[in-house]
Amino acid sequence: MIYAANFKTNHTRQSTKTYLETLAQKLADKRTEDRVFIFPPATALDSYSGNFTVGAQNAYPTQNGAFTGEIGLEQLEEFGIKTILIGHSERREYLKEDQETVVTKYTYFMAHGFEIIYCIGEPLEVREAGEKAVADYLLSQFEGIDLSYEKLIVAYEPIWAIGTGRSATVEEIASTHAMLRSNMDRPLLYGGSVKPANIKEITAINGVDGVLVGSASLDVESFSEMIFA
Ligand code: PEP
């Protein structure tokens, strides 16, 4: 299983360090087949060691240059970071990243050999319009994305389930993952209000290879509880 923690705009450099020191101890005897990723805020990126991989929540597709407020490859390379989240719904919605922007980032970081967790997900009105609408919407988020990239992990995150406490149902996850699987052959995560109380039923679903966790990953005890559930 893959367990990925997205801190978003939470945790400081100091609290991330404390979190990762605790996590490193807890993961000393994790199942070898499991993989753990942590995506702290950009100010907390550093060269950490432990049984986990630290990635960037975002970066600009450039080596360096005049892109005020952004970080590029050079800033990630300083810490040996070779993993990135691309396409998260919060960046699509609040930062107005359209599919073209997302594809540009994807193509750039793929060309530089990054492991990419590529996020897709539909808004509530699309879910309410039925399975065909959901499939059309999600597949449109694959446009321009090289799905044969061997370092790609896809995360299905229904927007209406993110940070709301309301996870998708087992049936919704199973049918959406089955549809996605028939269109690609890479590890597939589910994200959206995953927490210790529902981790076991979600990871037991056929077609779920892991989880991307926001709120419930912020506390190291809660996140490790999920990894060892
Ligand atoms: C996310 O935004 O990636 C996420 C899954 O958040 P949460 O777990 O808080 O729903």
Ligand 1 pocket test target in 2, 89, 154, 157 with most atoms within 8 Å of CB = 157
CATH number of the domain that residue 196 is part of: 3.20.20.70
Provide CB contacts within 8 A for 139, sequence distance 6+: 183
Is the overall model pTM greater than 0.95, yes or no? Answer: yes
User: For tokens 């997900």, what's the residue?
Assistant: 121
Q: Which residues pair with 154 in a beta bridge?
A: 118, 188
Residue 11's domain comprises 2-227
- The H or E element that residue 109 is part of is helix 99-111
20-66 confidence digits (pLDDT tens):
999 999 999 888 899 999 999 999 999 999 999 999 999 999 999 99
136-185 confidence digits (pLDDT tens):
999 999 999 999 999 999 999 999 999 898 889 999 999 999 999 999 99
Span from the CA of 66 to the centroid of ligand 1 (angstroms): 31
Task: Work out how many domains the chain is built from and give that number.
Answer: 1
Atom of ligand 1 nearest to the CA of 162: 10
- Output the residue whose Cα is nearest ligand 1's atom 3: 214
Ligand 1 pocket test target in 92, 167, 194 with most atoms within 8 Å of CB = 194
Per the annotation, the verdict on 70 as an active-site residue is no
Catalytic residue among 90, 122, 157, 177: 157
Catalytic residue among 88, 90, 97, 122: 88
Residue type, 103: V
Name the DSSP letter for residue 144.
T
Is the pLDDT at 104 greater than 90? The verdict is yes
Per the annotation, the verdict on 11 as an active-site residue is no
Name the DSSP letter for residue 168.
P
Provide CB contacts within 8 A for 210, sequence distance 6+: 1, 2, 3, 4, 35, 153, 187, 189, 190, 203
174-207 confidence digits (pLDDT tens):
999 999 999 999 999 999 999 999 999 999 999 9
The pocket around ligand 1, CB under 6 angstroms, is made up of 6, 157, 162-163, 191-194, 212-216
